[in-house]
């Protein structure tokens, strides 16, 4: 099964994919978030196998371990982790959650 949620991390400070960024996928369950997937970006900055099961509508979050990524490159960062919270209303669709990253800023959007 193809993962219904994927991500791609680009390091905009160097203009290339961010390889080796660990990420955790959580889903909201009534009163708390619970981990449902985990991965590390490949050489192209992608995690295509974050989840191997169907999803339901609801709130999800991806937590990226950006501090470790920059530390491994000998760089300081203002954001030791980046948390992206999003809501899925149509679980039949594919959901791609990209992260554009630099040591002192980040942005995201709903990808395709």
- Domains in the chain, start-ordered, CATH in brackets? 5-108 (2.60.40.180)
| pTM for the whole structure | 0.95
Token digits for 63? 């937590």
**What pLDDT, in 10s, does the model give residues 36-92?**
999 999 999 999 999 989 999 999 999 999 999 999 999 999 999 999 999 999 999
Indicate whether 1 pLDDT > 80. no
Q: Cα separation of 57 and 16, whole Å?
A: 33
């Amino acid at each position: 099964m193809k993962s219904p949620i994927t991500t791609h991390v680009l390091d905009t400070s160097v203009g290339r994919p961010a390889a080796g960024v660990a990420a955790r996928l959580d889903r909201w369950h009534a009163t708390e978030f619970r981990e449902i997937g985990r991965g590390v970006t490949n050489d192209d900055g992608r995690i295509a196998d974050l989840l191997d099961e169907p999803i339901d509508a609801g709130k999800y979050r991806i937590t990226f371990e950006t501090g470790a990524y920059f530390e491994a490159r000998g760089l300081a960062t203002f954001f030791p982790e980046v948390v992206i919270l999003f809501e899925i209303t149509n679980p039949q669709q594919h959901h791609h959650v990209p992260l554009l990253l630099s040591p002192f800023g980040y942005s995201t959007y709903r990808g395709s």
